[in-house]
Amino acid sequence: MRTVFTALTAAIAGLLASPAFAASGPFFSLKNTDFVVTLGFIIFIGVLFYFKVPSMLGRMLDARADGIKSEIDEARSLREEAQTLLADYERKQKEVQAQADRIVASAKEEANVAAEQAKEDLAKSIERRLAAAEDQIASAEASAVKEVRDQSIVIAVSAARDVIAKQMTAADSNALIDDAISQVGSKLH
């Protein structure tokens, strides 16, 4: 309150000093406009202090300052929360990236293992097919050899029959038949 009183007296003295020297005639007269203005200003200042306007303005400014301070505190807490969330999301992103890298590495390893297995399976399949083809070739070869033998036997028998038929006489023929009957008889008994 003391500073307000000092400021008020300084303002009054400043107002009184300059108009008093500038005006003509007596200063403390209602005909002097400078005096009337000064008196009106002093009354206005008095009314402001009577209704405690400076303290109301101070309270309003304090309330506004408190509101701004609370908004700043709230903004600071929101910023800290946002930084925490950002750090969380960055950590999660790193974890997801690491997991994705592990999945890719695992998939590559599985692909390599599958490729090796496919190579082994293909080699085994080729071996089996080669063995089957070799068996078929051997079977076909044996079949061809048997067919050639059978054919050569048929041809040989036919040629022998022709040769024997040309060279044999009826007496030779009867002797051969008797001989074959005796051999069959001795082998059966």
**What residues does each domain of the chain span?**
1-51
Distance from C-alpha of 24 to C-alpha of 148, rounded to nearest angstrom: 161
The pLDDT value recorded for residue 20 is: 47
Q: Could you tell me which residues come within 8 angstroms of residue 4 by beta carbon, excluding any fewer than 6 positions away? A: 49, 54
pLDDT given at position 189: 65
pLDDT band at 178 (very low <50, low <70, confident <90, very high): confident
Residue range 85-108, pLDDT digits in tens: 999 999 999 999 999 999 999 999
74 — pLDDT class (breaks 50, 70, 90) = very high
Average pLDDT over residues 161-165: 76
**CA pair distance 145, 81, nearest whole angstrom:** 93
| Per-residue H/E/C for the chain | CHHHHHHHHHHHHHHHHHHHHHCCCCCCCCCCHHHHHHHHHHHHHHHHHHCCHHHHHHHHHHHHHHHHHHHHHHHHHHHHHHHHHHHHHHHHHHHHHHHHHHHHHHHHHHHHHHHHHHHHHHHHHHHHHHHHHHHHHHHHHHHHHHHHHHHHHHHHHHHHHHHHHHHCCHHHHHHHHHHHHHHHHHHHC
* pLDDT, tens only, 9-30: 666 666 555 544 555 667 777 7
Q: What pTM did the predictor assign? A: 0.38
Average pLDDT value for residue range 42-67: 92
Question: What number is the average pLDDT over the span 154-167?
Answer: 78
